[in-house]
Amino acid sequence: MTEELYVVQTLLVASVLIGLCWRESIILRLQILVWGTGVIALAVRFGLTEQLNFYSNDQRFYTSVVNELSTQRFSPDIDWWLNSAKIPYTLPASILAAIGFDPTLALKITSLTCILLLTRHVLTQLQPQPLNPTFISLFVTACGGIGMFYSLLALRETMMMLLVTRFVTTSSPANRVLMLLLIFLLRPHLAAALLVAAIIMIVWEQLQLRRMTSGLRHLGVIITCSLFGNLLFAFGSWTQGAGFEITQGRWSISTATRIASNFVGLQFLTARSETIEFSVGALLLLRILFSETIIIPTLFTLLILVRPHLATANTRLVLVAFSIYVGLVTNTDFNSFRQNIPFMTVMGFVILYHTQRHPSRKYAETSG
């Protein structure tokens, strides 16, 4: 495909989506305009091939999967379908590719669709308010800079943000099971953390532990669930044939600081140097550009510790799930803010609920 045709397809998609969203919030139309401009800019600046190396060369892999699916040259291996193909993300894109869209653009369309659906979901949870406060709310729920950034890429992050948010906010057990299955196909250890957290919350409610509203007790939940995530990682390694060892054996100061850094968005400061692809300067610049990756987890952590009396069942679900998840990912070589992006929106819901003076009942029930 030529660069010119790629640009034409991008403009066509943006125009159609703006038309479909014409009666929706102006924010959705602005997101589509930003997406169209950004996608074209990346293609013109780097070229259709080299753009796949921008930020993450994982985009190359997803594009290759879409190529295989759209041309029916995929592997019959079940393991490929369950662990490699990331079907919830690549299958919709492969359908678009099969009808003539560039495979990379098809993935970016899927990413955009997810952030639009997520933004629409966030807007329905907010009380009516002027545009400026709405922009702040979208920033705090990661539908602003960081969400739009990932919508420009052929990566699955915006879909995981959407699925995790739907998992936490839905009241339907059937919907939760469906979300969990889709998340498992995208990132198994994220699904494991959510499943275990949901089970823990059932026990929590049955034992009426919701009365535990002290910040110190919430800190204890963070520590305990992070340790439990550690155990889950050890168990998962054991099922794959490795020895049963907990966090490379023991808890230590470095283990504790790696876990704590996730709750303030500064993972790169505690990550092992051999696992960091970018320079510290580049990573600091990313944190400045996307300051919500620090602001959201930091505010979330502070609020559940200093205003624990406002915690709802969903607040605790997010806290338990994220703590377990952190206990898992800090054992891997991929602990970064990108790993924690799926939790940003639900953390933002907690922040908005805990900082509103008169939150609506609907908002309290669905976004705590």
Instruction: Reduce the DSSP state of residue 339 to 3 states and report it.
Output: helix
Contact 164, 346 (CB under 8 A): yes
Provide the 10 A C-beta neighbour count for residue 203. 9
241 — alpha (psi -120 to 50), left (phi > 0) or beta?
left
Whether the Cβ atoms of residue 150 and residue 157 lie closer than 8 Å to each other: yes
The angle at the Cα of 277, spanning 275 to 279, to the nearest 5 degrees, equals: 115
Task: Kindly tell me if the per-residue pLDDT of 151 is higher than 90.
Answer: yes
**Listed range (169-173, 248-252, 269-273) with the worst mean pLDDT:** 248-252
With a pLDDT cut of 90, the percent of the chain lying above it is 55
Q: What is the reported pLDDT for 354?
A: 86
Q: What is the mean pLDDT of the chain?
A: 86
Q: What is the pLDDT of residues 82-113, one digit of tens each?
A: 888 999 999 999 999 999 999 999 999 999 99
> Per-residue pLDDT for 182 more than 90?
yes
Q: Please state the rounded mean pLDDT for residues 177-200.
A: 95
Residues in the chain: 368
Handedness of CA 307, 312, 317, 320 (dihedral sign): positive
At 245 the pLDDT is 55
Tokens standing for residue 216: 């110190």
- Say how many Å lie between the first and final Cα of the chain, rounded: 47
Mean pLDDT of 43-62: 94
Question: What is the pLDDT, as a whole number, of residue 362?
Answer: 46
At residue 277, the 3 state secondary structure works out as: coil
Alpha-carbon distance of 168 to 321, in angstroms, equals 10
Contact indicator for 205, 111 with CB cutoff of 8 Å: no
Give Cβ neighbours of residue 200 (< 8 Å, ≥ 6 apart): 225, 320
Q: Are 307 and 163 in contact (CB under 8 A)?
A: no
Residues 6+ apart with CB under 8 A from 191: 180, 181, 183, 184
- Given a cut of 70, whether residue 240 has pLDDT beyond it is no
Q: 182 near 163, Cβ under 8 Å? A: yes
pLDDT of 234 above 80: no
Cα-only R_g, the chain: 21
Classify the C-alpha dihedral 41-286-32-12 as positive or negative: positive
Residue 163's Cα: distance from chain center in Å? 8
pLDDT value of residue 247: 45
**Dihedral pair phi/psi, residue 311, rounded to 5°:** -65, 135
